[in-house]
Amino acid sequence: MQKFTVHQGLVAPMDRENVDTDAIIPKQFLKSIRKTGFGPNLFDAWRYLDAGFPGQDPASRKPNPDFVLNQPRYAGASILLARKNFGCGSSREHAPWALDQYGFRAIIAPSYADIFFNNSFKNGLLPIALPEAQVARLFDEALAFPGYTLTIDLARQVIVKPQGEEIPFEVEAFRKYCLLNGLDDIGLTLRQSDKIKAFEAARLASKPWLNHTLAAQ
């Protein structure tokens, strides 16, 4: 998992409440057993005027010029600004995968659906919750100033605006530790690999018949 320490990025404002996971990555794209390739279909029904299907060449699609991510001023955005209850709906982990693979590193919104919020941290995506009034001010500024960027300093837990003003945010200590060190659940487990090997060796020494059982498998 990619580490998240300090990130400066262009902000894309998505002025919609209750964005659900089926809008983030529609159900027809969940057939893949791979964990990659979802970025081109992020917000597919809103992003394109034609119906999309798995394996389709994105270059053959008809982009919706009114959708925020298709507007030239937001090309390359890596911070998504959203309204309340972002990521509601089903529990599909493909939603943070698609956001990450599109290029987003962080989301700023007043609130999130619990499962999406948890899945985001597990996949290297930082969801920041701020009061609605603060989010509304960020929307006003992002819309008013083309090229509006923010700097997110996870270690200090602050968002730095272009003028230098800092907005503090909360993040649970363990989640912060994992993001700063680029550790997902597998990475956390592998940090104990020496202990796991030692346990397995001791178990086989005390129960040698297990070795024959494992070999037979």
- Tokens 């001791």 correspond to what residue? 202
Q: What is the pLDDT of residues 34-90, one digit of tens each?
A: 788 999 999 999 999 998 888 889 889 999 999 999 999 999 999 999 999 999 998
Which helix (H) or strand (E) segment holds residue 7: the answer is strand 6-13
Q: CB atoms < 10 A from the CB of 115, how many?
A: 17
Q: Where do the domains of the chain lie, and which CATH numbers do they carry?
A: 6-183 (3.20.19.10), 184-217 (no CATH)
What are 4-47's pLDDT values in tens digits? 999 999 999 999 999 999 999 999 998 877 788 999 999 999 99
pTM, two decimals, is 0.88
Q: What are the residues whose beta carbons fall under 8 Å from the beta carbon of 152, sequence distance 6 or more?
A: 6, 7, 8, 9, 79, 105, 106, 126, 128, 158, 159, 160
Which residues, 6+ apart, have CB-to-CB distance to 112 below 8 Å? 85, 86, 87, 120, 127, 129
